[in-house]
Amino acid sequence: MSPANIFTLQLVLGYVAWLLCYRAYLWPRLKTMDPVDAHRAIATLHSFRFFGLVFVIPGVVGSHLPGSFAGLAAYADLATGVLAILALLAVRLRPLFWLFVVAFNVVGIADLLVDYYHAVHAHLPDVAGELGAAYVIPVIYVPLLMITHVAAFYLLARPPARQPAVQAARAAAA
């Protein structure tokens, strides 16, 4: 099997494995949590996106990693991570918290979609070995990031009346 096919297969299986895990363990918990707590959990995961800067560190990645992919992926990940950290820091200022939650999710999902576009056009699967130690990011970490962005948008769009478990928990605590 070619390296490009292995990389693509691993990426697809990363999505399958995370979707199974997410459906069984993460989603049941997130959908019953208070909305602020659910978005704090998602922001905490995304606050580690500063790690994407490895795409621009020579020696960690190969010298033939397409520049059209590496730079944008690295710095958009950093921006997403900083916005997620700002959301976590602003949790007590709810309007600011929600602004940063929306911002890191919009920037983050746009980053991932643009990265996929650039990866395809730069033929990244053909040179996936150039990812070096960062190879794990697109095949293990990115699927979870994408899934949690989609979940965050769903939770943001969900009307409060459709949160019966949250309402029941709040009523019991009152």
Mean pLDDT calculated for residue range 18-23: 97
Residue 161 has pLDDT above 60, yes or no: no
Encoding tokens for residue 40? 């704090």
Q: Which residues contact 48 (CB under 8 A, 6 or more apart)?
A: 81
- Minimum mean pLDDT range among 74-88, 120-134, 141-155: 120-134
Helix (H, G, I), strand (E, B) or coil at 81: helix
* pLDDT tens-digit series, residues 94-139: 999 999 999 999 999 999 999 999 999 999 999 999 999 999 999 9
Which whole-number Å values give the CA distances from 137 to 17, 33, 142, 172, in the listed order?
A: 15, 28, 6, 42
Q: CB 64: neighbour CB atoms within 10 A?
A: 9
In the three-class reduction of DSSP (H, G, I as helix; E, B as strand; rest coil), residue 98 is classed as helix
pLDDT for res 159: 82
Share of the chain above pLDDT 90, in %: 83
Cα(19)–Cα(21) distance, rounded to whole angstroms? 5
Residue 89 CA to residue 97 CA, distance in Å, equals 8
pLDDT of residue 67: 85
pTM: 0.88
Mean pLDDT of 68-86: 96
Residue whose C-alpha is closest to residue 77's, from 45, 48, 118, 39: 48
Residue with tokens 């989603």: 27
What one-character DSSP code corresponds to residue 122? T
